[in-house]
Amino acid sequence: MKGFEKPVLEIKNLNKQFGKGCSDCCDINEKKLEKNYCPECGTVYACQDISFELYGGEILGVVGESGSGKSTMMKCLYFDQEVTKGEGYLSSYKDGLMNIFNESSQQKRYIRNHVLGKVYQNPMLGLKMNFSSIGNIAQKLIAAGYRSVRDMESRGIDLLNHVNIPVFRMKEPPKNFSGGMQQRVQIAKALSNNPPVLLLDEVTTGLDLSVQANVLDLIKKIQRELGISMIVVSHDLAVIRMLANRTIVMLDGRIIEKGLTDQILEDPQHPYTQQLVHSLLV
């Protein structure tokens, strides 16, 4: 019998709430809140029962309006925030047998340093702006266990070449760079430990169109050459169309539609997705 491909990352029923909840909203399945917050107690249900799989070499797009829970989901995946409940399995961590959200904080840091890479929307969150660009890359390598300066330097130079940062500027701090260059240094840093899964959170937001195109081309190139699985979050459907093989659409903390990107764009089923696709065509 032909076996099914095992996902690189599998998320099951991820929930994240801010607030304790009240009798009116605790059982959200029965009450079915209209929005993702409770008007009685103010609890925000940022992510509700998020489930998806990410396969090897795939780019999964996550699209939705501001406040739909995309970035919160990414923060939970990178352990920047604790999940309220849910399960996550990484095939490259303990053969995908352990729920990563239940691991100790030390193990979560190990996963961050060895298995995951993340590029933030705001480079200030992903980079140390006063340290050299190669130092930023080296920090991730040190965390992954490198102890040879020469090895780290040569790996850093390779990565900076890969993201088109001139090597003669490697000792400059990212604060001297343009927004696009800062994002490219972040990508180089995220790639430094050869992560099987790369998380990209609104990486082109705030960049002008030509720089956006450069960064998107770079992401495509990296995916093609290195075969890394990626989750790309964006509120811009054009970005998702260019990058993603499959797409999930989020609204009010829930996944309202998921499927192949072409299918979502050509034949959207949910009224919100239809509205989103329509806005792209206008």
Partner 1 sequence: MKISYNFAFFDEGSKREIRRAALKAVAIPGYQVPFASREMPIARGWGTGGLQLTLSLIGKDDVIKVIDQGSDESVNAVNIKKLIKKTTGVEQTEKTSKASIIQSRHRIPEVPLNEEQILVLQVPIPEPLRLVEPSEYKTKRLHAENDYSGAWLMLFEQIMKYGSMSTGADHPVLVYGRYVMAPSPIPRFDNPKLTCSKALILLGAGREKKIYAVPPYTEVVSLAFDDYPFRVESFENKKCRICGATEVFMDEIIDEKTGMASYQCNDTSYCLKKLNNSADNQGGDISERI
Q: How many CB atoms lie within 10 A of CB 213?
A: 14
Which lies closer to partner 1 via its Cβ, residue 152 or residue 230? 152
* Member of 148, 176, 178, 274 binding partner 1 (CB under 8 A): 148
- 143 lies in the binding site for partner 1 (CB under 8 A): yes
Least Å distance, CB 127 to partner 1, is 12
Query: What is the C-alpha to C-alpha distance for residues 153 and 275, in angstroms, rounded to an integer?
Result: 48
Could you say whether residue 152 binds partner 1 (CB under 8 A)?
yes
Pairwise CA distance, residues 282 & 280, whole Å: 6
Between 119 and 138, how does the x/- string for binding to partner 1 read (CB under 8 A)?
---------x--xx-xx--x
The number of beta carbons lying within 10 Å of the beta carbon of residue 57 is 15
The nearer residue to partner 1, 139 or 205, going by C-beta atoms, is: 139
Please pick, from the candidates 1, 149, 209, 282, the single residue that binds partner 1 as defined by CB under 8 A: 149
Q: Is residue 81 at the binding interface for partner 1, with CB under 8 A as the rule?
A: no
Identity of the amino acid at 140: K
- Dihedral through CA 263, CA 55, CA 101, CA 109, nearest 10? -120
Alpha helices per DSSP H over 84-234: 105-114, 123-126, 133-143, 149-162, 179-191, 209-226
Which residues make up the interface to partner 1 (CB under 8 A)?
105-106, 109, 113, 128, 131-132, 134-135, 138-140, 142-143, 147-150, 152-153, 171
